[in-house]
Amino acid sequence: MIRKKIELVLSLLTVTFAFFSWHGVDQIVRAGGNGTWIGPMILFMFFLVCICLDIVLFEDIVFLELLLVASLLVGVVFTFSLWHLLGAIVGGYFLFLAARRIRRDLELNIKIDLLKSLRTGKAMLVLAISLVISLQYFSVISQLKGQILIPRIELGSTSSKVAFSVLSAIDPTFKSLENENITVDEFILKNQESQRLAQNQQGFDFDTAQIVEQELDQQNIPLENREQLRLQVGNKLNNLNSQLTKEEQVLILQQSRGQLSALIGRDVQGSENVSTVISELISKKIESIFAPSVAGQQGSSSVAGVLAGILFFTVLSICSLLSIVFFGLSIGIFSLLVRFGFVAIKTVTVEKEMIA
């Protein structure tokens, strides 16, 4: 009885999240480059979590497949297009394949490993959602007049924080930059000084070493005294090289600020906090990847098809990267259901044939 109630609640949640997810996509596409994808992305995360739980917990495979295809067909009410309808049907087929792969892996496992089982259907899950989104986009822009755009994915400050956190985990230097109140100019000069010191630690370059040796030969310096003279000359050169003149500093700062300004799309003064500028740069790069635009007129199905193809591969990549997130949420919710007794895990003895 409890299992049936869980299935009923999951069914309602799946259809609800599906409705608002497809509605969000429709609004973003019609808004062109002015919409934000944060809301739809969150809705799709929960929609995919519901799909994963449906596949794992539903006992009736027929009811499960009807629910999966219904959750994709919900979006058709916003476009009333045959292309979108076709995408929902084909996407439903891929969801069927994902469900059967996941459930088959669960049946074959000796112990339940939900992450392993969900991964067996990952490709089909991601493919289904990406296909339906891109065909919904194709259906909408085919009906629009004037310029058509791939909707801009505005990630804003969220992408900056997430990207900087990832970089901090990879390289502790970024974490220290985030904590220190260091300006862009200070960071540029500090980085330049570090590069010069690293070069100096490697000793003379080949040409400089040759000149020193020739001078020592001409002056007939004894071999036992040459090493000390080399060290003295090296120290003097290091001191000269490690000190930037005022003119060099001004030139380096101007060039570096100009490069940063071109990358970010605004004027960099040099007094900004370097962690803020780096975060803004990362955010700009992420958003530029997801914001291509192409001009076209109503009825230009070739242009619309190209744009839909670009969006398909973009969404496919994003969903693949985020799969670990909605898989993790699904496993967490499943673990809570087991812990509180709503779902039971039991051990059974199975007879099987084998070749003797």
Percent of the chain with pLDDT over 90: 25
3-state helix, strand, coil in the chain (%, to 5): 75, 0, 20
Give the model's pLDDT for residue 26.
84
Lowest mean pLDDT among 2-11, 12-21, 192-201: 192-201
Query: Is the per-residue pLDDT at 70 higher than 50?
Result: yes
Q: 134-179: per-residue pLDDT in tens?
A: 888 888 877 765 545 545 444 444 444 555 555 555 555 555 555 5
Q: 221-235: per-residue pLDDT in tens?
A: 665 556 666 666 666
d(CA 209, CA 218): 14
Give the model's pLDDT for residue 295.
43
Output the DSSP codes for 88-156: HHHHHHHHHHHHHHHHHHHHH-SS--HHHHHHHTHHHHHHHHHHHHHHHHHHHHTT--S-EEPPP---H
Give the model's pLDDT for residue 161.
53
Residue carrying structure tokens 């985020």? 322
Q: Which tokens is 137 given?
A: 């986009």
If we measure between CA atoms, which residue out of 87, 70, 78, 89 comes closest to residue 24?
78
Report CA torsion sign: 36, 119, 136, 18.
negative
Per the prediction, the chain carries an average pLDDT of 75
User: What is this structure's pTM?
Assistant: 0.59
